Amino acid sequence: MKHKFLFSVFVFFFIFIFLSLGSWQIIRLNWKLDLINQINSSLKSEAVFLTQGEKKNYLKIKASGQIDFNKQIYLYNLNQQGKPGFEVLNPILVNGENYLINRGWIPFEMKNAPEINEINQENITGILKLQNKANYFKPENSIEDNYWFTLNRDDIFKYTGKSFSKYIIYL
């Protein structure tokens, strides 16, 4: 009799665990589908001028400003094929607010190459995205060598002397 009771408790415990995990997966699926719909609707919409007003994640924006190539940040990252390189980020002042603009990925050999700075500096169109949270398993940034692993706001302030919006503009 004791074994039947323990077996029943064991079975009900695991049924509860599996139902909880299944429910969590359904909740997570709905959250991801909402996020995908939000991204798709933002990408299909017309670009709006970036102002000090309402900002939201994945907002398609137009902005005018001067890109600062003197304080360029090289953020270590892998491309889609797994090749290591850098994402190139630059400060830009738009309507009195500082932003980082992510201009894309380059291979290691292109670091500090002058041709990566040959872009239209006046008018840009991009996607506004919240800065990702720091990953605790990444190494410390090497500010002196301009070799970054995370976009730590304190490190960015030390490097540029400026405070930035929590949003990044992706070209």
The helix/strand/coil state of 8 is helix
Examine the domain organization and report whether 59 and 124 are in the same domain. Answer: yes
Examine the domain organization and report whether 102 and 53 are in the same domain. Answer: yes
Examine the domain organization and report whether 7 and 85 are in the same domain. Answer: no
Burial class (CB in 10 A: 0-12, 13-18, 19+), 135: exposed
d(CA 27, CA 41): 21
pLDDT at 139: 87
Examine the domain organization and report whether 69 and 149 are in the same domain. Answer: yes
Examine the domain organization and report whether 91 and 33 are in the same domain. Answer: no
| Parent domain of 25 | 1-44
Examine the domain organization and report whether 18 and 101 are in the same domain. Answer: no
CB 171 within 8 A of CB 103: yes
Examine the domain organization and report whether 29 and 76 are in the same domain. Answer: no
Residue 52's pLDDT band, with cuts at 50, 70 and 90, is low
Examine the domain organization and report whether 96 and 40 are in the same domain. Answer: no
> Of all helices (H) and strands (E), which one includes residue 93?
strand 84-94
Q: Which of 44, 59, 75 is the last residue of a domain?
A: 44
Beta strands 97-107 and 84-94: pairing type? Answer: antiparallel
CB 125 within 8 A of CB 136: no
pLDDT digits (tens, 9 = 90+) for 119-135: 766 788 899 999 887 77
Question: What's the domain count of the chain?
Answer: 2
Examine the domain organization and report whether 159 and 96 are in the same domain. Answer: yes
What residues contact residue 54 under an 8 Å CB cut-off, 6+ apart? none
Residue 117's pLDDT band, with cuts at 50, 70 and 90, is confident
Share of the chain above pLDDT 70, in %: 98
Q: Which residue has the higher pLDDT, 54 or 152?
A: 152
Examine the domain organization and report whether 68 and 32 are in the same domain. Answer: no
Give ∠ CA 37-38-39 in degrees, rounded to 5: 90
What residues contact residue 135 under an 8 Å CB cut-off, 6+ apart? 150
DSSP 170: E
Which pTM value belongs to this model?
A: 0.79
Per-residue pLDDT averaged across 112-123, rounded? 76
